[in-house]
Amino acid sequence: MSEAASVWALAARNLTRRCVEQRGSVEVYIPAPSVAITRVCGHLSVPLAGIICEAITAQLAGGQRLALFNQWERMETYDSGARRLLTNSVLANIRGIASQQFILGSRIVAMGVSTANLATSLVGLQLVAYPTRAAFEAALGRALDTSARRDSAA
């Protein structure tokens, strides 16, 4: 099994939330206490964005800083209210977020992430969009390895 396949196999065993609407879907995975993965397909509505916010807020209650990996390459569009909700949630929880990393497919979604980055950069959180799936998966693998080392040392 390749390293990327093993990363996704680990994530798949840790599905925390899933919701499907007519135009889109969201899944949230927590493969490690300090790593969360969101996967969005189709259209991101305000209720779907709320599911992401709820899952991340619940995980942050554990006290560890969280590396967020957003696999949004299959997201096509979003409600502007969804972008505002996610951005405001990040800003409200900024102390608990170690990083925000993305793989994107849609230019419209990339523009939204860029807009959110303007707000988060002002408080010290740079949103990182990877140009390739391989680079995104490599970063995710490193975060999982770091989390595993931290957990085994505790």
Residue 15 has pLDDT above 80, yes or no: yes
Q: What is the pLDDT of residue 146?
A: 85
pLDDT per residue as tens digits for the range 88-132: 999 999 999 999 999 999 999 999 999 999 999 999 999 999 999
Q: In the predicted model, what is the mean pLDDT of the chain?
A: 90
Cα 123 from Cα 132, distance rounded (Å): 27
The topology under which CATH files domain 3-145 is Transcription Regulator spoIIAA (3.30.750)
Q: What is the pLDDT of residue 140?
A: 93
The amino acid occupying position 132 is T
CA distances from 63 to 14, 56, 137 (A): 19, 12, 25
- List, in order, residues 6 or more apart from 56 with CB less than 8 Å away: 28, 36, 66, 68, 89, 93
CB half-sphere exposure, 52, CA atoms < 13 A: 28
Picking from 45, 15, 43, 40, the residue whose alpha carbon sits closest to that of residue 30 is 15
> pLDDT exceeding 70 applies to what percent of the chain?
89
Whether the predicted model's global pTM rises above the 0.75 cut = yes
Q: Where are the domains of the chain?
A: 3-145
